[in-house]
């Protein structure tokens, strides 16, 4: 039972294999139109079989209850209903035999075959046909619901166009994006969707990124910046130089990530799989006991009248309703739906296990720079000692342009805006959490925070230690030469993020940063965070988070930029990378990737996780509850095979519909 999808993929009418499930890139899972046509023919044939069986069953019931003389002759009624049974019964029988060859003795196919065979044995021919007919209809409807949900997810995620205009010798021609190579130039007209990742060649352009990030506000991208597949061009024709092949675009990686996420099972999925493997043989044994035990009771209690056909019928009802299809299908589908809904909102879960784990988070640790703050620093002051401002900026530009740190980028931008020419830098080394060292124009340069300079025995002005702004100090040949003061700004939704998390009862929120403790405390006060810690190196953060995760009852999520914080992301129970769109480092190190720079998506991720968990629990409790009631009613003789089939199919369909409703929710 744990591998129900594999069983269904052989010859069952309306199975997933025949329904043509889409691959991660949104195409038909088969390679040729001939095979796809064969799939449609198979589905049509399955529908013909169902209609044939239904018509023959209906005519048979009419002939039986109208008292038609010739229909009452010995053997004619049996043959009639046997013919009605074969169109829907043979495929199920084939699946049961296939499962037996795989040494899977207890599955839903064998349950249905036993129930139908038992009904024939006691002369309940119409019910034998009805068991298989309605089971087949129910399975077909379930598979179509599952297929539709899977297709919807794939279509929502894979939004790449099938054609693009590429510049070749004869001008722009329309080709498949798969044939476009790195370095080639493509053209996308207004309203067109980007088919491949590339570098923008226009001065700037506006793009709708909602397909990737879930955000409706267009984003401005400038010349030389990267444009990602799936974005939509707003207002003008743009030209891109392709920098990644079709299969390696950011969107392709997202699709692969979502596909692989379905393979990482949540605890509830693993439980259902183990439960189904034990449950099916147990209910088969119980059905046998329902038939046999009353016979022994009648031997001990003569007043108890035992009728074999009656108790066999009750056992068959028990078998039919016991089929756990609703659980085996709807629970994995519930997690898959949650992963798909999160992806639409710009949140990538790397597995159903993380979707489940985020619901248990009671402590969240945020990095500051680039996570709750914009990471876009502005220089607010400059001071020099024994050197001109132009010379100081030239040295800083030479060193800082070798770094990708947000502070370094701000310094570089500030210097270039003033027309500063960089010196020649060599032997550059970056000291994580401190700064950089280099040789510029033959001089030993140290650039970084106050700790770096004092650690090198370099005297700095005392007042710098009391300044709460971010300080970039510079020393030349062991002598303090000046500093820049920089400030960062909170992201627009940073305060809202903390409020939403508290509303979700995540009250233990902490802030970690390599900035000075005074700066971190100031930001924490503005955000409403009670616990804030500064002056931390990356390894200090790792030790801090490791100690937190070891505390009993703590379920810790760390939210960082996915690159400098990779060790901490790996150590936390759930690592959440911010702004990870297109970042290999973020995707590799984190369990959850927020594709935008919005920290409020962390609260959204928790809400989606909890919604998914509630839906899964509803399916488990609802399916077991309804089946329990009908099982009891069948055992006591108050339920028929017809009722058992309808209850089984109905519960399964309701569970599937409940599982996919998360796709229609707005988060």
Q: Parallel, antiparallel, or unpaired for β 232-234 and 479-487?
A: unpaired
At 10 the three-state DSSP class reads coil
Beta strands at 238-242 and 185-188: parallel, antiparallel or unpaired: antiparallel
If we measure between CA atoms, which residue out of 95, 137, 89, 138 comes closest to residue 115?
89
Listed in sequence order, the residues at least 6 apart from 67 whose beta carbon sits closer than 8 Å to its beta carbon are none
- From 39, 104, 158, 367, the catalytic residue: 367
Annotation says 367 is catalytic: yes
* Interacting residues of 142 by C-beta distance below 8 A, sequence separation 6+: 325, 329, 652, 653, 656
Nearest 10 degrees: Cα torsion 162, 252, 580, 559:
130
Phi/psi of residue 576, each to 5°? Answer: -120, 120
Residue 387 CA, distance from chain mean position: 55
Q: Maximum CA pair distance of the chain? A: 119
Q: How far is CA 473 from the centre of its chain?
A: 44
Q: For residue 603, what are the contacts with CB-CB under 8 A and spacing of at least 6? A: 497, 500, 501, 504
Q: Residue written as tokens 């046997």?
A: 82
Phi, psi of 518 (to 5 degrees): -65, -40
Residue written as token pair 């013909």: 48
Walk across the sheet containing 219-222 and list its strands: 219-222, 204-208, 232-234
State the DSSP H helix or E strand holding residue 605, giving kind and residue range, or none if neither: helix 600-635
Q: What is the CA radius of gyration of the chain?
A: 33
Contacts of 213-218 with CB under 8 Å at 24 or more apart are 213/346, 213/581, 213/595, 213/596, 214/344, 214/345, 214/346, 214/347, 214/595, 214/596, 215/346, 215/596, 215/598
Q: Please say whether the dihedral angle defined by the alpha carbons of residues 568, 573, 578 and 580, taken in this order, is positive or negative.
A: positive
**Closest by alpha carbon to 545, among 588, 519, 575?**
575
The 3-class SS string of 507-528 reads: CEEEEECCCCHHHHHHHHHHHC
Q: Which residues are catalytic?
A: 367
């Amino acid at each position: 039972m744990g591998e129900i999808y594999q069983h269904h993929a052989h010859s069952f009418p309306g199975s997933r294999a025949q329904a043509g499930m889409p691959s991660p890139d949104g195409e038909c899972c088969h390679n040729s139109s001939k095979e796809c046509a064969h799939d449609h023919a198979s589905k049509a044939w399955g529908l013909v079989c169902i209609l044939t069986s239904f018509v023959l069953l209906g005519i048979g019931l009419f002939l039986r209850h109208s008292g038609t003389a010739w229909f009452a002759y010995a053997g004619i009624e049996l043959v009639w209903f046997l013919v009605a049974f074969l169109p829907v019964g043979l495929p199920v029988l084939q699946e049961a035999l296939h499962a037996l060859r795989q040494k899977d003795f207890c599955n839903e196919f064998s349950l249905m075959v036993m129930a139908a065979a038992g009904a024939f044995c006691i002369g309940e021919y119409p019910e034998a046909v009805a068991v298989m007919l309605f089971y087949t209809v129910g399975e077909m409807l379930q598979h179509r619901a599952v297929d539709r949900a899977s297709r919807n997810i794939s279509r929502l995620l894979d939004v790449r166009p099938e054609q693009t205009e590429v510049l070749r010798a004869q001008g722009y021609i329309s080709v498949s994006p798969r044939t476009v190579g790195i370095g080639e130039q493509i053209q996308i007209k207004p309203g067109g969707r980007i088919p491949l990742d590339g570098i923008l060649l226009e001065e700037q352009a506006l793009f709708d990124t909602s397909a990737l990030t879930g955000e409706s506000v267009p984003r401005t991208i400038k010349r030389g910046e990267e444009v990602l597949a799936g974005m939509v061009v707003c207002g003008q024709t743009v030209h891109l130089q392709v920098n990644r092949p079709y299969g390696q675009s950011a969107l392709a990686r997202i699709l692969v990530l979502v596909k692989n996420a379905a393979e990482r099972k949540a605890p509830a999925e693993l439980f259902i799989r183990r439960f189904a493997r034990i449950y099916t043989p147990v209910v088969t044994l119980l059905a046998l006991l329902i038939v046999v035990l009353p016979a022994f009771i009648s031997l001990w209690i003569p007043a108890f009248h035992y009728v074999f056909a009656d108790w066999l019928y009750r056992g068959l009802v028990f078998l039919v309703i016991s089929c756990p299809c609703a659980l085996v299908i709807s629970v994995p589908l519930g997690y898959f739906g949650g992963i798909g809904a999160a992806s639409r909102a710009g949140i990538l879960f790397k597995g159903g296990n993380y979707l489940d784990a985020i619901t248990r988070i009671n402590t969240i640790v945020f990095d500051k720079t680039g996570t709750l703050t914009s990471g876009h620093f502005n220089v607010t002051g400059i001071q020099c000692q024994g050197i001109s401002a132009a010379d100081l900026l030239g040295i800083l530009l030479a060193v800082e342009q070798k770094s990708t740190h947000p502070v370094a980028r701000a310094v570089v931008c500030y210097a270039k805006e003033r027309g500063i020419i960089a010196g020649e830098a060599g032997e550059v080394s970056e000291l994580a959490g401190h700064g950089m060292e280099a040789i510029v124009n033959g001089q030993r340069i140290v650039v970084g925070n106050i700790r770096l300079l004092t650690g090198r025995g370099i005297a700095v002005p005392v007042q710098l230690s009391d300044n709460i702004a971010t300080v970039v100090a510079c020393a030349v040949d062991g002598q303090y030469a000046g500093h820049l003061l920089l400030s960062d700004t909170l992201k627009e939704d940073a305060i809202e993020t903390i409020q939403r998390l508290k509303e979700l009862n995540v009250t233990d929120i902490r802030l970690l940063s390599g900035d000075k403790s005074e700066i971190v405390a100031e930001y924490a006060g503005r955000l409403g965070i009670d616990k804030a810690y500064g002056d931390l190196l990356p390894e200090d953060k790792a030790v801090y988070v490791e100690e937190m995760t070891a505390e009993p009852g703590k379920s810790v999520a760390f939210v960082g930029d996915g690159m400098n914080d990779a060790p901490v992301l790996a150590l936390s129970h759930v690592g959440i990378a911010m702004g990870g769109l297109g970042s290999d480092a973020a995707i590799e190190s984190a369990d959850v990737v927020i594709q935008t720079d919005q920290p409020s998506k962390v609260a959204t991720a928790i809400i989606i996780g909890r919604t998914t968990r509630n839906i899964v629990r509803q399916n488990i409790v609802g399916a077991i509850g309804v089946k329990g009631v009908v099982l009891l009613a069948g055992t006591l003789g108050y339920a028929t095979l017809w009722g058992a089939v309808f209850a089984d199919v109905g519960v399964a369909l309701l569970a599937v519909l409940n599982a996919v409703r998360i796709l229609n929710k707005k988060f």
